[in-house]
C-alpha cells in the first residue's frame, strides 16, 4: 500500500522523530535506529538507503565527494526510511518517473523539516528580518534550498525581503 503524504503530514512525521529521539541530529538518530552510515565513491549518486533483509539492517550510503552536504543527504535518506521503507523504490522508479520524483520530493521535505524545525526559526524571528537567506543558511549550516523552503512556508520574511532575495538570486545565477 502506498501512503500519500502531504507536506503537513511529512512535517508532523519529522516532528515526531525529533520528539522520539530527543534530537534532530541525523547521526544520533541513525545510531538510535542502528542504521550504519558509509561513505564511498558513488559516482553521480549522492546517497541511498539500503536494506539487508537477512540481517534486518539498514545502511545509508553517502557519496564521499559530497562532504559538504553529508548531513542533508543523511536526512534525505532518513526521509526514505521513515516515509518509504516498505516500498521497493527501485522498482517503482522504473515503472513511473513521476512517482520516483514524488518520493524524492517527499524525502527532501522530510530532510528540511528534520534539520530546520519551525522552533529553530521562530526562536530567531526578530533576527531573521535583518539576515539574508544566505546568512540564515550559513548560520544553521544548511544548504540554501532548505532555508528557502522553510522561510517561505513559515512566512517569516516580509514580501519586500522575498523580492530582494529573489532578485539577488537571479543576479547571481
**Residue 2 falls within a domain, yes or no?**
no
Domain at 78, CATH number: 1.10.10.2910
Whether the pLDDT of residue 90 is over 70: the answer is no
Is residue 140 within 8 A of residue 112, CB to CB? The reply is no
Q: Does position 172 have pLDDT exceeding 70, yes or no?
A: no
Q: Count up the domains in the chain and report the number.
A: 1
Cell numbers for 149, please give them.
Answer: 523552503
Is 168 inside a domain boundary? yes
Range of 121's domain? 7-172
Q: Is pLDDT of 92 > 60?
A: no
148 counts as catalytic: no
| Residue whose C-alpha is closest to residue 35's, from 9, 16, 17, 8 | 17
115 has pLDDT over 80: yes
What does 103-118 look like in DSSP terms, one character per residue? HHHHHHHHHHHHHS-H
Residue 144 has pLDDT above 70, yes or no: yes
Task: Supply the pLDDT for residue 121.
Answer: 80
**Whether residue 109 has pLDDT greater than 50:** yes
* pLDDT at residue 129 in the model: 76
Catalytic residue among 77, 113, 148, 165: 77
Q: Is residue 64 part of a domain?
A: yes
Amino acid at each position: 500500500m502506498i501512503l500519500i503524504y502531504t507536506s503537513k503530514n511529512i512535517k508532523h512525521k519529522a516532528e515526531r522523530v525529533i520528539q522520539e529521539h530527543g534530537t534532530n541530529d541525523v547521526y544520533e538518530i541513525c545510531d538510535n535506529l542502528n542504521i550504519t552510515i558509509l561513505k564511498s565513491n558513488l559516482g553521480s549518486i549522492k546517497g541511498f538507503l539500503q536494506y539487508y533483509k537477512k540481517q534486518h539492517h539498514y545502511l545509508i550510503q553517502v557519496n564521499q565527494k559530497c562532504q559538504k552536504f553529508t548531513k542533508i543527504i543523511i536526512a534525505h535518506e532518513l526521509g526514505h526510511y521513515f516515509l518509504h521503507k516498505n516500498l521497493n523504490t527501485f522498482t517503482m522508479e522504473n515503472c513511473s518517473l513521476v512517482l520516483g520524483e514524488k518520493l524524492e520530493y517527499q524525502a527532501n521535505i522530510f530532510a528540511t523539516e528534520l534539520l530546520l524545525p519551525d522552533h529553530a526559526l521562530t526562536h530567531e524571528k526578530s533576527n531573521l528580518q535583518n539576515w539574508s537567506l544566505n546568512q540564515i543558511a550559513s548560520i544553521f549550516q544548511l544548504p540554501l534550498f532548505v532555508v528557502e523552503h522553510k522561510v517561505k512556508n513559515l512566512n517569516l520574511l516580509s514580501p519586500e525581503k522575498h523580492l530582494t532575495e529573489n532578485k539577488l538570486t537571479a543576479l547571481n545565477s
